[in-house]
Chain A
Amino acid sequence: MKRIKSLLRGNIRQYAMIIALVVVVVIFEFLTKGILLKPLNISNLIQQNAYILILAIGMLLCILTIGNIDLSVGSVVGLVGALSAIFVLKLNMPIWISIVLSLMAGFLIGAWQGVWIAYIGVPAFIVTLGGQLIFRGLTMVALQGTSLAPLPTSYTFLAAGFVPDIANIEGINLLALLFGAVASILFIINEINKRRSKKKYNFDVPSIGAFLFKLFAITAVIMAFSYALALYRGIPTVLLIVVALVLIYTFVTDKTIPGRHIYAYGGNPKAARLSGIKTKRVLFWVYVNMGVLAALAGIVFTGRLNSATPKGGYGFELDAIAACFIGGASTTGGIGTVVGAIVGGLLMGVLNNGMSIMGVSIDWQQAIKGFVLLIAVGFDVISKIKSKV
């Protein structure tokens, strides 16, 4: 019992958010009379939230560095969306070139803000608030106040398309099932390896019962999820992008030197500097990364909308920031995970989607989302005070 308590305490934030997500899903499944988890709606949920999840990953890295946030990402989404639409529709460039150019634009935007923040030393809040205005303004200039639409299907495929199936069976998508099976097996192997190496070094591990339950629960969720996808049109392309990003960024933050440097910088910038970490460089690249991911989100969002509009991406920064904090990131930096930010983003997404299905008006949606953010972070702060006593 004691062991369970101590294990729970260590991971309470992560588990709490996952439990909260499950509870919210169950509640809305009930309130929407089963519409929430219909195969069609699950695909919708993914495509609706992919760009927020992409932004949340980049935002998490910003927040890890002493709680810096990036207020400009919504505007960057708008600007890059506009640029990519111009490349495709006005300049008739091939899709892949326009995507590469758009990502490069994101790189340059990130580098511009990174220089101001890391090397000149203007607070990130100010630089990105400025960026929010600058890039929104430039979006309007680029689009001359009107929308650009429609985009070719080869462009929207990225955001709204589905991966073609490998076999042609009526009513079920084989690739989605296969995808779920492979993901489950990889997950199980990874968990067993982790447990084995922990045991080898005599670290605390959960009891075998709890471990098997966890394996079973998560595998069941993965399989149910892929079955639902299989019943509709299969794997949304954008899901592959998000999953790939989650895997890559989890690996980078967990296992690599740059990842460690980001956490160290957020944990204590002075100590990090005296440990030989080039702190300015860390900060710079975190913002470059944010720029690139914001550009990717811009491409996905424009594809989903099938048009580039002057207001595209408006307010996205707040959703991305909220996702990170709901997912357990610390406002002072150094604490937070990519998976946490994704869980936070999904929680917000399910709230949005569920309330929309129920017909809750947009003004009430806003108020409720704000309340949820406050409760989530408040819970976190209180549990931290308690664990100190």
Chain B
Amino acid sequence: MGKYILEMRNITKTFPGVKALDNVNFRVIPHHIHALVGENGAGKSTLMNILSAVYPHGTYEGDIVVDDEVCVFRSIKDSEAKGIAIIHQELALIPSLSIAENVFLGNEQTDKGLIINWDKTRTKTIEMLKKVGLDERTDTKIKDIGLGKQQLVEIVKALAKDVRLLILDEPTAALNDKDSDHLLDLLVDLKAHGITSIIISHKLNEITKVADEITILRDGATIETLVKGVDDISEERIIKSMVGREIVDRFPKRQNKIGDILFEVKNWNAFDPLDSEKQVIRDVNINVRKGEVVGIAGLMGAGRTELAMSLFGKAYGTKITGKIYKSGEELDLRDVSDAIAKGIAYATEDRKTAGLILIDDIKRNITLSSLHSLRKKSMVIDDNLEIKVGEEYRKKLNIKSSSILQKTGDLSGGNQQKVVFSKCIFSDPDILFLDEPTRGIDVGAKYEIYTIINELVEKGKSVVMISSELPELLGMCDRVYVMNRGMIVGELKASEASQEKIMQFIMQSNKEVLK
């Protein structure tokens, strides 16, 4: 065996308009736990998706070398044949099937041909469940066990395929601390049994605890690899490396006058609609002033989207409690149309599945929220007026398209986002919640989006901006709230905010929960 179990050499991956990975080099020593860290969008998941052939050979540049041999991975089967298995954040288990059935799914234990040998399946499953310390019957259904145990089943599933290199993408993001600890101990244990793992995580405390090596990615490039026992691997050191970039002038300047408090939320609580025991938003208090851009920072799963949507006419959540005030007046928003009528707009983070009607044209998408303002009489839409509105927004927001009759499904991401913005702005809101407004958009279009936001606040509107890109929040916001585990864990003015401070707030609150 060579020095490295895995080498990824000069990997470059381009998506339309974006270079997700730029000449990345990544080496893993056998029988180590290797951590891969970086901000959201730094390219960690892309890199692992290349390794597990989610992006097959030929869609990227560079080489994957396993045991000193250059490999061509055309499908997940190829990478599995080399003993590489990836466990995604979204678990790939089938809830209605049993543990044993899931473990051997696609890898069924057969006698001859197509007949499954259930005895063999069960015995093998029992054996492996013991190995990972999971005390469950093999015929228990996946939906009846908790997330922590499901994660273990995923690992068992990988072990069943004789895995040598296990990749875990944010394995502990959704786990409680006991389950997280158990999982990390298991990784250390597997290491002793000769299984190498790569762990992608935001929880730096966990990484410093178990990782032998830490590779840091930033903006699609490898920054450095820190080795335990050789380099300083303190959290501060890692954070510095993760975010340490100079902010060049990527953000347009604005002259906004910040006025009185326009919008205020008091003691806001919400629960998961699918699991009404699980509290997603805890006691949130925030306020937004007139003409202000307020950011909400946080990691994935911190509850930012859930907060914004629950405020937007209870579009998310159940058992919602708390109070919303606008211009000092309490609002009772029963549904989305109430929220829109009261001057609130929400631009979703997921424009394709929840923001646009892709089979409809630009103008029909723009006017959808505010058809009543196009009325000729009672329920009849004034076509001419609708066309005028469509043209107006197409020009104003510079939506690049053949005409307002072009289907939004055929537009680029940036232009789709401009249509979503147009829809929000046309409903004439006083406050706009913009959820990941620049996700998946190239740099030029980002600048345009920022300019639109600036124009809005210059006109006296208020903007709440949710973003996983910290530089964007720092560049655009007058004030930033930091959110973690459904709570507001910090508040920073633009002048005092920094990426380190935001990350520290998050790490601090994680530590408090650990205690």
Which residue numbers of A lie inside 8 Å of B, CB to CB?
Answer: 197, 201-203, 255-258, 260-261, 263-264, 267-268, 270-278, 334-335
Contacts and interface: CB of A to CB of B under 8 A. Distances in A.
Contact of B348 (A256, A261, A263, A274): A274
A276 B340 contact: yes
A334 B369 contact: no
Contacts of A273: 315, 336
A267 B340 CA distance: 21
A264 B372 CA distance: 15
B381 A271 contact: no
Given A257-B379, A257-B380, A271-B356, 19 more contacts: A197-B384, A201-B391, A203-B403, A203-B405, A255-B383, A256-B379, A260-B381, A264-B360, A274-B312, A275-B336, A275-B369, A275-B423, A276-B339, A276-B369, A277-B337, A277-B368, A278-B337, A334-B359, A334-B360
A268 B353 contact: yes
A264 B368 contact: yes
For the complex, would chain A's binding face be called helix, strand, loop or mixed by DSSP majority?
Answer: helix
Contacts of A258: 379
12 contacts: A256-B380, A257-B381, A260-B381, A264-B360, A264-B368, A268-B353, A268-B357, A270-B353, A271-B355, A271-B368, A276-B427, A277-B368
Contacts of B339: 276
Given A197-B384, A267-B359, A334-B359, A272 B315 contact: no
Contacts of A261: 371
A263 B379 contact: no
A277 B358 CA distance: 17
A223 to B, nearest CB: 29
Interface residues of B, number: 36
Contacts of B391: 201
Contacts of B368: 260, 264, 271-272, 275, 277
A270 B356 CA distance: 9
A113 to B, nearest CB: 23
A258 B380 CA distance: 9
Contacts of A272: 357, 368
B432 to A, nearest CB: 13
A276 B356 contact: no
A219 B117 CA distance: 71
B387 interface: yes
Contacts of A277: 336-337, 368
Most buried by B among A263, A271, A272: A271
Most buried by A among B315, B380, B403: B380
B370 to A, nearest CB: 8
Interface string B393-416: 000000000010100000000000
A336 to B, nearest CB: 11
A249 to B, nearest CB: 14
B450 interface: no
Nearest to A251: B380
A268 B346 CA distance: 17
Q: Can you list the 3 inter-chain pairs with the closest CB atoms, starting with the nearest?
A: A267-B357, A276-B337, A270-B354
Contacts of B266: none
B381 to A, nearest CB: 6
Contacts of A267: 357-360
B250 interface: no
Nearest to A263: B360
Interface string B179-196: 000000000000000000
Interface in B278-326: 312-313, 315
A274 to B, nearest CB: 6
B360 A274 contact: no
B218 interface: no
B371 A271 contact: no
A260 B383 CA distance: 12
B418 to A, nearest CB: 16
B364 interface: yes
Most buried by B among A272, A276, A278, A334: A276
A203 B379 CA distance: 26
Nearest to A273: B336
Nearest to B424: A275
A277 B370 CA distance: 10
A274 B359 contact: no
A277 B423 CA distance: 13
Contacts of B354: 268, 270-271, 274
